[in-house]
Structure 1
Amino acid sequence: MSLASRTRLAALLAAVSVGVAGVTTWAYGYGSEQPQAAAEAVFRPSVTEGSTLQVVAHPDDDLFFMNPDLSRSISTGIKVTTVYLTSGESDGRNEAHSPHLDDAAGPADRAAYAEARQNGIRGAYAQMATGDRTSVWQRKSIPTAGGGSAEVDVLVARPEVNLVWMQLREARSISGDNPDSLRGLWDGRIPALGAQLTSGTPVERPFSYSKDQTVAAIADVFARYKPTTIRTQDPTPGKSDSGVFLDHQDHMYGARFVQAAAERYAQTTDRPHFSVQNYVSYPNSALPPTLDPQAGEEKLGYLKTYAWMDHDDWCGSPAGCGDRKTATRPTGAGWNRTIRYSRGDGTSWMTEGVPGRLWAFAVLDGRMAYWSRSGPKAPWEGPRFLPGDGIDAGASAVRLPDGRIAVFATRTTLGATPRDYGREIVYAEQGGPDGAFGPWESLGTPDTVDRSGTSAISGPAVAVDPAGRMTVYVRDSRRTLRARTQSAPDGGFGAWQALGGSGLLGDPVAATDGSGRRYVYAATTGSVVAWVQPTPGAPMTGSFATGLPQTTGVLSVRPEGDGVRLFFRRPGTGTVGTSLATMGGAAPELSPVAEAGGPGGYGGVGIAGPLLAGRTGSGTVGVAGADGPQSWQESQMLYTGAPAGVTDRSGTTVAAALGLDADLHIVTTPPPARTEPAGDRLPTPWHRAVQPPMLAGAADAG
């Protein structure tokens, strides 16, 4: 894209940015050769809408592991609610390095320490919302569907910001075997888990919840706030080689209770559609940083407020105004420089079927939703849903040789007993081109041992050979690559194959070059490894060391001539690097790393022809050129997961993202006119794929 075109695009987007959410409309035309385009493209540019609800195990899990997503959501003015499952009472001492339960260091007061953590959280949220940690809260007790009570805090100056304290007892150990915990309750080792009420709470009476009552109480909170985006922790972080959980047990089992509550909430009718985003917690300690220095410092500022670094009595509570245990290391284990999703960060959820027909997939309400468009000038339709629930965030879609579509995902089965909990790979495909999708088929899991304790498989990457046989690639819980291949088109899949590798991160990615060779890539903590077909149709070989620099662990690929181009984020800056792989011998050869996209940002980068779509430094979805460094052209919309993109056979490119409103938003670049260089095409601003009825009527009237 030329400098003049980038300048024109920036001016157009800047003109849109002055609009007010819910009011602005904008008509965009592609030039004099398309006189009807303006009438066909009346839409309101996308802004952040909907509501978010975070559920975490302890006070501070949100600040450490969900920021800056959290603070940026608050800044937009949408409804933001955070639910704390436990009181986080720990050993009851608001000081660092105190001997565990050693009365020589002073008496333990778990109720007071839990209140101090509440005070620190209220200060951090007030700072995020108003800039003043002392901003006033209104606190009250509400009954829950579980038969107990919860504390609800409403920020008076910003009443759309709420905190909900469930006040259950924490495990008081990262991985120790304590039956009186969320883990013990989930596994059926105790009949009920009691409350740990904080001092000063408006909740007056102690209570306890059975497993079903806990699920009911959380689902009732969902029904009260009706979120369109639910954020929670990772229910399957996996185990170390020695069998120890890689995350705090409360994080893991709290997230499983959220899964069960979301499934129950999805069965109700008086609610909007919602998506779920899972976040990595403790495992971030050993992974590369994802945030740029500015975002990391802003996140650290809120953590310092929570940690009560200055020890000033700004809250007036005898319990204290924050968590002094955190004050010795408010960065955590480097957590202020990191945010990472454990599911749904793939970019292959959009594809073309029969010529001109585009398909986009995302998980809403625990079901696979899809949107479709029959041609470049046809309207988008959706969401529609495939039958079946339990589908995890994320999807991978592929086109079969006859134009049919197959979509792959992972599915979690909660089961009747704790041992039945597990995750599997599933897929559904169309019975004919443009036809209906068949039922979900299970490919099982490569993790056959301790499924209830691990099930930490990645999302699938899928490739199709010229005959139409599909191969699915997945990272297993041991961090190696596994694959299953169809024995024949439309036939069954063979056994899981072990392809090796070690220490793999995130989801693998796959692509086929112009000569028919297939490439599979996966990130490690220090670089990227590759598998490749030496010749088309040959068995995969690898893993090969690529020599690429360290990445944040999220990869994207696109075919490019007789090679495959890889895109990745650089640790500590969030800039996008790219390298072209070709086969020059027995192993792939990679070009020197070049820069693409703009500065800052994190998460996956979708590829739509000459454009990249990804998260900008401010957290909004933006577009930039794929073939050189340039500034992100930002929108006004925060989103969940990662964008996807496709170029259809007419040359039209479409990038898509799932907004926090659980709706599909797109940006489109038309094919070039005969007199216009391809790089000078201007994309539309981001807008809803399916227009609201009022705006759709305005377009028809135009």
Structure 2
Amino acid sequence: MYLASRTRLAALLAALAVGATGVTTWAHGRGGAPQPTALGAGIRPSVTEGTVVQVVAHPDDDLFFMNPDLSRSISTGVEVATVYLTSGESDGRNEAHSPHLEDPARPADRAAYAEARQNGIRAAYAEMATGDRTGAWRRTAVPTAGGGSAEVDVLVARPHVSLVWMQLREARSISGDNPDSLRGLWDGRAPALGSQLTSGTPVAAPFSYTREQAVEAIAGVFARYRPTTIRTQDPTPGRSPGGALLDHQDHVYGARFVQAAAERYAKSADADAGAGAAGAGAGSRGTGSAGAAGADTARPHFSVQNYVSYPNSSLPPTLGPRAAEEKLGYLKTYAWTDHRDWCGSPAGCGDRKTATRPTGAGWNQAIRYSRGDGTSWLTEGVSGRLWAVAVLDGRMAYWSRGGPATPWQGPRFLPGAGMDAGATAARLPDGRVAVFGTRTTLGTTPGEYGRALVYAVQAEPDGPFGPWRSLGTPDTKDLPDTSAISAPAVAVDPAGRLTVYVRDSARTLRARAQATPDGAFGGWRSLGGAGLQGDPVTATDSAGRRHVYAATARSVLAWTRPSPDATDASDAPLRGPFPTGLPATTGPLSASPRGDGVGLYFRLPGTGAVGTTLVTADGPEPSFSPVTGAGGEGGYGAVGVAGHRLTGRAGAGTAGLSGGPGGAPSWSESQMLYTGAPAAVVQPDGTAVAAALGLDAGLHVTTAPPAGAEPLGSLPPSSPWHGAVPPSTVAQAARAGSGWQR
């Protein structure tokens, strides 16, 4: 049954990808037939483009924690490469975790078990790409920039799909203190980490990496493939109340090596481009420092998406039944559940440990982003001018558009590196824009690793941004290996005073506010709550009452400030937290003014459908209307809100737009997969503008007419999703020829 589900998804994505110049297709609502929509001159509909590189600690982390993003990327035909940092050799026994099945007398063979996991991964990827798990692979050994070797497998029938096996030794324990591990290598307790070669690998000789060599080896993979999207695990999942990491240590420290490698890759590529530009003389185009804002680079820009791993076990499911079934099908293939010897390998054709429970701890039903799932990164500055902000290459990028008839400009960059995925933009009363985000400092020692909240404000309306300023972290007693603060939510009062809200590592709500406009921020305040998940959100209703919301695993908590004259720097900030009585959500929330209250939007567990409630705060406690649906097939991730228009992942995972509550809500699907979350705003004339960051690291936008302005029976927006800024010839050339030789 799951094969049929996969076939349907592949067919849908293939159908959506045909949009020729001048025509695009839209899927109208649930099961509706695609209809052609004419395009305006010069607008090319967005399709999924780019190069995606996943880097995970173990074979199966991608299948458990990055699907269905992974399978949908493969289905579109973009170049996809997955890098496995360790061999995942575990105890060397390819058998189910069951006392009556394990044979303690059977000798452990870590090389063979690692090979069995490779066989299972190759089968799952072949099935995702072609529907046939037995697809042939071309396997070669290549030297790495770190002085070792990697095995690179290319799927013969679909050479845009590659697997890169770094074959380092795994920790062989979820949390045990083993210096001979990625964690020990990162912390400096191991001078080098050795390889664990799989049986049958074309890599001939063992090797080892120092910390520096490991970073260089991963950065070298990025240089080979030149990704536009990097997917990795969560480097800061936080700790339990007892002090244990909330994730596998290989996941956490593998992700930190990816952070360091991405930073190395971005800097080295920029330096090479800057040197080339200097050597070419005047008129050449390149990128050196952040001062070369907006210039073309010798490589495409890239975004980073972080994924939640083990913590999904204790959180509500995010995927609907069909997506969960499809994901489980690939896991069963990897786990070799039918035990048929189709591969001819003495090691086995898959991972029999996973066969005991291919669902994991409910992981087949979930996918979550640990960062970059906020929807407040698009805003209006001075009347008519829009600003979009996002993190590319570890730097804060921004795009702007002067008005509906003027083209978008960008990306341009604020100075400084180390920015985490996710950004928040807020408009001040005079039309200036403030940008907020978090920045990770890697340091050279374990104690120097940490995260801080930073912000920059335009010096004048429509002018340049001022320098970055740090607000530090509310986790003043945090250990270097946590730093699990959320992205910020930002509120602005009528006088222009800013307040930021973050979830701290203890999963409570914290706030820091200005006492005067453009003044210094006060200290961090504790606003309570417990077990908060994801990022907090805030909105102000038409009466000036501020609302703040944060999800928990079981419901949503609310804070309100009933008086518009109070400030969060005063002695009487927000009241709460109030229990809302709302059902569990999948985590990401969005809030937007609606009528005399605030509309709260979220995904419902087990279906991924969008639910919404109207919250009013004119009493001692906020009140909530019954939850209603926003139509369409279920998706996952946050929902951008612009008046009556909603945007988010539609049924096939592509960027979709909805008419929103009222009438007969339904979704139009685009042809584009994206990263992070979409954002949306309403312009003064009521036109809705939505934006998303595509897998090509480009800004894509769409517009929809004001409520009531659509022709009767019309759902699609007035323009399809399309690239805000056409790619330059240099950027297109940089995308060509990536990867090791096919």
Q: Helix, strand or coil for the counterpart of 2:379? A: strand
1:645 partnered with 2:642 = no
Paired with 1:39 and 1:305, the residues of 2 have a C-alpha distance of 42
The number of residue pairs the alignment matches comes to 670
Alpha-carbon shift at residue 377 of structure 1 (Å): 1.3
What does residue range 13-52 of structure 1 map to in structure 2 within 5 Å? Answer: 20=18, 24-26=21-23, 41-52=41-52
Q: 1:584 to 1:516 in 2, by over 3 A?
A: closer
TM-score (norm 2): 0.88
Task: Work out the CA distance in 2 between the residues paired with 1:636 and 1:498.
Answer: 44
What 5-or-longer segments of structure 1 have no aligned partner?
1-13, 29-37, 695-702
- Give the structure 2 partner of residue 304 of structure 1: 332
Letter in 1 for 2:692: A
2:470 corresponds to 1:442: yes
Corresponding residue of 1:612: 646
Structure 1 partner of 2:61 = 61
**d(CA) in 2 for partners of 1:608, 1:677:** 21
Distance 2:213 2:133 in 1: 35
**Could you say if the C-alpha distance between residues 150 and 509 of structure 1 is closer, same or farther in structure 2, counting changes exceeding 3 Å?**
same
The structure-2 alpha-carbon separation of the partners of 1:92 and 1:662, relative to structure 1 and needing over 3 Å to count, comes to: same
Contact 2:230–2:302 under 8 Å retained in 1: yes
2:698 matched residue in structure 1: 663
Q: CA RMSD in A?
A: 2.2
| Structure 1 match to 2:391 | 363
Give the whole-Å Cα distance in 2 for the aligned partners of 1:601 and 1:510: 23
| Pair 168,17 (structure 1): closer, same or farther in 2 beyond 3 Å | closer
Q: How does 1:202-213 map to 2 (within 5 A)?
A: 202-213=202-213
> Which secondary structure does the structure 2 equivalent of 1:425 belong to?
strand
1:390 paired with 2:418, answer: yes
Q: Is the 8 A contact 1:504 1:525 kept in 2?
A: yes
In the other structure, the counterpart of 1:248 is 248
Report the CA distance between 1:597 and its aligned residue.
3.8
Partner of residue 732, structure 2:
none
Looking at structure 2, the residues matched to 248 and 515 of structure 1 have their Cα atoms a distance apart, in angstroms, of 47
SS in 2 for 1:283: helix
* 1:562 corresponds to which of 596, 600, 607: 596
**1:185 and 2:213 are equivalent in the alignment:** no
1:46-445 mapped onto 2 (5 Å cutoff): 46-97=46-97, 104-267=104-267, 268-269=269-270, 270-445=298-473
Distance 1:693 1:222, change over 3 A: closer
Aligned-partner residue type, residue 196 of structure 2: Q
Matched, 1:552 2:576: no
Counterpart of 2:628 in structure 1: which amino acid?
A
Post-superposition shift, 1:418?
Answer: 1.1
Deviations 1:10-68 (A, max 9, x none): xxxx9x967747x523599xxxxxxxxx9964211110000100000000000000000
Letter in 2 for 1:132: D
Q: What residue in structure 1 maps to residue 613 of structure 2?
A: 579
2:508 to 468, 472, 480: 480
Task: Calculate percent identity across the aligned residue pairs.
Answer: 73
- Secondary structure of residue in 2 paired with 1:85: strand
Does the C-alpha gap of structure 1 residues 117 and 547 become closer, same or farther in structure 2, counting only changes over 3 Å? same
1:302-357 CA distances to partner (integer Å, 9 max, x unpaired)? 00000010111111000000000000100000000000000000000000000000
C-alpha deviations, 1:412-469, integer Å up to 9, x for none?
Answer: 0001211100111110110000010011110000111234121011110000011110
SS at structure 2 position matched to 1:431: coil
Whole-angstrom CA distance in 1 between matches of 2:668 and 2:105:
56
Q: Are 2:490 and 2:538, in contact at CA under 8 Å, matched by a contact in 1?
A: yes
Q: Is the 8 A contact 2:562 2:618 kept in 1?
A: no
- Choose the corresponding residue for 2:667, options 632, 635, 643: 632
Amino acid of the residue matched to residue 219 of structure 1?
A: A
Question: 3-state DSSP class of the match of 1:104?
Answer: coil
- TM-score normalised over the length of structure 1: 0.92
2:719 to 677, 680, 684: 684
With over 3 angstroms needed to count, the CA separation of the structure-2 counterparts of 1:572 and 1:680, relative to structure 1, is closer
Q: Do the aligned residues in 1 keep the contact of 2:659 with 2:715 (CA within 8 Å)?
A: no
Q: Distance in 2 between matches of 1:387 and 1:693?
A: 23
Asked if 2 retains the 8 angstrom alpha-carbon contact of 1:26 and 1:43, the reply is no
Q: Distance in 1 between matches of 2:238 and 2:708?
A: 52
The alpha-carbon distance between structure 1 residues 418 and 680, as it changes in their structure 2 partners (threshold 3 A), is closer
1:141 and 1:18, CA in 2 relative to 1: closer, same or farther beyond 3 A?
closer
How far residue 187 of structure 1 moved from its aligned partner, in angstroms, is 0.2
The 3 A distance-change label for structure 1 pair 678 and 405 is farther
Cα deviation digits, residues 577-618 of structure 1 (max 9, x gap)? 100111242110111111114121000000122211000121
CA contact (8 A) 2:668 2:715 kept: no
Deviation at 1:535, TM superposition (A): 1.9
Query: Which amino acid is 2:309 matched to?
Result: S
Q: After superposition, what is the alpha-carbon deviation per residue over 1:283-314, rounded to whole angstroms, capped at 9, x for unaligned?
A: 00000000000000000000000001011111
- In structure 2, runs of 5+ residues without a counterpart are 1-11, 26-37, 271-297, 567-572, 730-742
Q: Given that residues 630 and 666 in structure 2 are in contact (C-alpha distance below 8 angstroms), is that contact kept between their aligned partners in structure 1? A: no
**Which residue identity is paired with 2:263?**
E
Whether the aligned pair in 2 keeps the contact of 1:610 and 1:679 (CA below 8 Å) is: no
What is the distance in 1 between the residues matched to 2:40 and 2:459? 33
Task: Decide whether aligned partners of structure 1 residues 597 and 394 sit closer, same or farther in structure 2, where only a CA change above 3 A counts.
Answer: farther
Would you say the 8 A contact 1:290–1:574 is kept in 2?
Answer: yes
Shift of 1:156: 0.3
Q: Secondary structure at the match of 2:158?
A: coil
Separation in structure 2 between the aligned mates of residue 585 and residue 644 of structure 1, nearest angstrom: 31
Q: Is the 8 A contact 1:27 1:43 kept in 2?
A: no
> Aligned in 2, Cα 1:94/1:148: closer, same or farther, shift over 3 Å?
same
**2:684, 2:434 → 1: CA distance?**
19
